[in-house]
Chains A and B, each alone.
Chain A
C-alpha cells in the first residue's frame, strides 16, 4: 500500500507519461476494474464487499508509454496488472495487490491486413469482434471464435492461451500467432521474428503465451488469417450416451476428417442448457458436428462423419438443429442463461487423450457430486475442443444455495476446485485446457508441474526480478519482491 505522499508522487509521474485524462483514481473506476469475469470478485461485490482495487487505472497509448510506466513501477516496486477485456474467468486480471492497472484498450489499431500472405497485424487492445468485422469486410477471418469475442481483446486471446468454437480445425489462438511485440518487465520492448516458423534457437515467443501478464505486456500481434469459407455445414446428432458420442468424435478425429467443430453436451447439459437456450427437449447426448471450406470437400468429410455416427446408433437431428446452435452459440453466455450469482459455480475444464477422457469425466462427476452432496452440487459438461489425439472436457459445477457468508462461500468454492483439480490430475487430466491459471488455479501449479515448476520460477525471477508483473497469478509470487 502506498501512503498519500507516495501516491501523489506516483500519480504525477504516471500523468507525465500518459496524460491526465488517461489515469484515474475515481472510486467507480477502481471498483469496476476490481472484478473480471471470475466468480470470486463478483461474489464479493454481490455481497457488498469491495475486492482489492488498483491504486491507479491507466490507459497507455503505446508500447513506449507502457515501457515508461514499467520503469516507474520498478522504481517504486509496485505491482502492474495488464487488463485487456476483463473477460477472463480465472481472476487473472484482478489487481490483488493494488498498484497500477494497465487497460490496453487504447492500443486498438489494426496495422496491416495482408491479403497475399494472409496475416493481420494489430495492437493487442483491439476488440475481438471489431477485428473480425474488419477482416470480414475483406472476406477474411481470424478463425478464433471464442464466446468472449465481443468483449475480449487480441492480447487477451493469447495471454491465457484461449480456445474458440472452431479450434478443432483451426487450432487455439496460440496456434494462429506468428509474431508479437512485448514490453518486458524491465521496460525493454522486444519483437519476435515475423515469419511463419524458424529454427533460430528456442522459440521464446511461446514463453509469453499463457504468461497472463506475469512476464511482460503483449502490445502488438501478427496473426495468421483465412479466407471466409465457401460453406459451413452444421448438423446435430443425438447419441444415447457420452460413451458412443465420444467414440464417434474419436473416430472422426483419428480418421483425420478435419471437422470445424465437434461439440457434445452430456445428458445433464442436454436436458438443461440445450433445452433452455435452443428449445430442444432431448434425452441423451446432443452433438454438433461441422465442416467448412470448399463445398465439395466439406460435403465429402461430412458424409464420412455421418456414416460414423450412424454406425454408432446416433439419431440425425438434421441441419436446422445444427444451424440453430451455430446461430445461438453465444447466447449461452448472456444473462440469465450464463451461470450467475447468487449461485456458486466454476468451470473446471480440462483435457486428456482419447483413452482417458471418458474415465476423467466420470471420475470428476463422481468426486464432485459425492464430496459435496450436502451442498446439492450439480455437475454438467460438454466436450468442445477436439485434437487429433484427445479432447477437452468443459465441465462445470453449480451450487445453487451456497453459504451466505462471503468468506465461507469462498472457502467452499476453493474446496470444490481442489477436489476437481486433484481428480483431473489423478486421472490423466490437466489443470485446464484454455481458461488460463489466473489467481484461481495459481496454488496448483507446483502440483501440476512437479520439478519442472522450478524452471518456470527461475525464468520469472530472471525476467522480473522485482516481481512487479501481475503478482499472485500463474503460481508466481505473492507481491513485489516475493
Chain B
C-alpha cells in the first residue's frame, strides 16, 4: 500500500552508475531534460528558460558546437547558476550538473574570459584563504577528540555564530579543537571555476584535520557538510580521512539534548518564527528535524513552515559566489526568502549558517527580524 511521501530509491545499476560519474556527458544529456526545472531557485526567480538547469546545459553544449561563443553575455549566464545542488538532488538519475557547470566555468577561467570579480576572489583566496578579510587563517596547534570547523564566514562575517556554538558545546562539557579558522572550505573557489585554488584550500583544510587528530569534526552548516563529504571527493578528487566523521552541529546538539547531556530552557514571549534550511541543505542527507526540534524546545512552538523548505529548500543568495558575481540575483534570492517567510506569517527568521545570516540580515524586509539558531539556543542554556 503506497502512502503519501514514499521515498524514492536512488540506487542505480550497471551503465547508469558509471554514467553519473561523467560530468562531460552530463551537459550533453541535461541540455534536453527539463525535469528539474521546478526546483531551480534561479529559474524560479527570473522566469527565464535560459536560467534553468537545462538552459545552462544547452548553452554549454551549444558553445561546444560553435552555435554560441563564450563572451560577456554567455559567461554572465553561466555564472548565474547558484550551484545550490537542487537540480541534482531532485534528479531521477542523479546527474551531477552543478559539477559540470563548475567544469565549464573552469574552462572559461582557463581561457581568460572569467568575470573580473572571479579573478579578484581568486587572488584573495590564494593570499588570505578567504574573500572577506585581509588576514591569514589561524593554524591548528592542539589535538582533540572533537573538532569544530570554523571557516571564514563564522570568523569574519558572523562571529556570534561561533561564540554561541562554543557556548552550547561547553554546556555539554565539550571543548572542541578549532579547525580551519578563517579558511574557506574551497566550495566558493570550486563553484566559480577556480579548480586549482579550490584544491589548494581543501588540501590545507585536510592538513588541519589530520593535525587535529579528531575522530569527529563538527560543522556549523550544511554547506560545510557538503564540502567535506561530497565536493572534496567528487569534484576535487581528494580523499577525506575515513576515520574522521563529519557531523552537523545541530544533529550533535539534538542527540545530546535527547540523551540528557544538554539542558535547554524555554524562552518567554516568542514571536511567530520560521526556520530557513541553509543553502546546500537539499544536497546533503541532513537531519531536517534536528534544528526544528531544538528551536521548538527553546521557543516553545514549532517553526512555521516555509514553502521552500527541507528537500526543496531554496538558497538565500549566499551560495555559489552569487553575492560577488551576481549581486542583483543574490538580492532577489534573499528577498524571495523573506516573501516566503511573510506568506508563512512569521515575523522572525532563524537559521544557523553564518553566511546565510550575513546575507539575510543585509536584505531583511517585511519587518522580519533575522536571528542565529545557535544564538537562540544559547540563550536557553541552563546555567
Contacts and interface: CB of A to CB of B under 8 A. Distances in A.
Interface of A: 24, 26-29, 31-33, 35, 37, 42, 45-46, 48, 50, 59, 83, 85-87, 103, 105-106, 108, 125, 127-130, 133-134, 136-137, 148-151, 228, 231-234, 279, 319, 323-324, 326-328, 330-331, 333-338, 340-341
12 contacts: A32-B59, A35-B58, A105-B48, A125-B47, A127-B37, A233-B2, A327-B2, A327-B8, A330-B35, A333-B33, A334-B95, A335-B32
A151 B37 contact: yes
Contacts of A108: 47
| 8 tightest A-B CB contacts, nearest first | A335-B29, A151-B34, A334-B92, A105-B47, A331-B92, A129-B38, A48-B65, A32-B50
Nearest to A141: B4
B30 interface: yes
A24 B95 CA distance: 30
A128 B61 CA distance: 27
B16 A336 contact: yes
A327 B6 contact: yes
Contact of B8 (A45, A149, A328): A328
Nearest to B59: A28
The dominant DSSP class at the B interface is: loop
Contacts of B55: 32
B112 interface: no
Nearest to A50: B67
A59 B307 contact: no
Contact of B74 (A27, A83, A233, A328): A27
Contact of A28 (B37, B50, B93): B50
A382 to B, nearest CB: 18
A226 B252 CA distance: 42
Nearest to A232: B2
A254 to B, nearest CB: 26
Contacts of A327: 2, 6-9
Contacts of B67: 31, 45, 48, 50
Contacts of B38: 127-130, 149-151
B73 A33 contact: no
B47 A59 contact: yes
Nearest to B78: A28
B93 A103 contact: no
Contacts of A324: 9
In this complex, the member of B9, B38, B58, B65 whose beta carbon has the largest number of chain A beta carbons within 10 angstroms is: B38
A103 B33 contact: no
A42 B30 CA distance: 12
A127 B41 CA distance: 13
B13 A334 contact: no
A105 B49 CA distance: 9
A279 B55 CA distance: 31
Contacts of A50: 67
B1 A28 contact: no
B36 A31 contact: no
Given A31-B67, A83-B49, A323 B73 contact: no
A328 B92 contact: yes
Nearest to A319: B1
B37 A150 contact: yes
Contacts of A48: 65-67
Contacts of B7: 327
B77 interface: yes
Given A27-B73, A83-B49, A338 B33 contact: yes
A31 B62 contact: yes
Nearest to A326: B2
Interface string B5-40: 011110001011001000000000110111111110
B145 interface: no
A127 B16 CA distance: 29
A50 B74 CA distance: 16
B33 A335 contact: yes
B32 A340 contact: yes
B36 A150 contact: yes
Given A127-B37, A334-B92, A335-B29, A28 B77 contact: yes
B35 A151 contact: yes
B50 A29 contact: yes
B174 interface: no
Interface in B286-343: 305, 307, 312
A329 to B, nearest CB: 10
Nearest to A44: B67
Nearest to A279: B13
Contacts of A45: 58, 61-62, 65, 67
B34 A28 contact: no
B182 to A, nearest CB: 38
Nearest to B26: A335
B91 interface: yes
A206 to B, nearest CB: 28
Contacts of A33: 49-50
B108 to A, nearest CB: 14
A283 B251 CA distance: 48
B68 A31 contact: yes
A85 B34 CA distance: 8
A340 B50 CA distance: 20
B32 A37 contact: yes
Nearest to A338: B33
A82 to B, nearest CB: 13
B49 A150 contact: no
A86 B34 contact: yes
A129 B311 CA distance: 14
A340 B2 contact: no
Given A28-B77, A134-B307, A330-B92, A148 B47 contact: no
Contacts of B48: 24, 29, 59, 103, 105
A233 B1 CA distance: 5
A42 B68 CA distance: 15
A24 B65 CA distance: 23
A262 B327 CA distance: 50
Given A133-B307, A232-B2, A323-B6, A26 B37 contact: no
B75 to A, nearest CB: 10
Nearest to A323: B2
Given A28-B68, A31-B62, A336-B16, A103 B47 contact: yes
A288 to B, nearest CB: 12
Contacts of B34: 37, 85-87, 148, 150-151
B15 to A, nearest CB: 8
B274 to A, nearest CB: 14
A85 to B, nearest CB: 7
A336 B35 CA distance: 12
B29 A340 contact: yes
Contacts of B37: 85, 127, 150-151
Contacts of A323: 2, 6
A328 B95 contact: no
Given A86-B34, A105-B47, A133-B307, A28 B95 contact: no
B26 to A, nearest CB: 8
Contacts of B30: 335
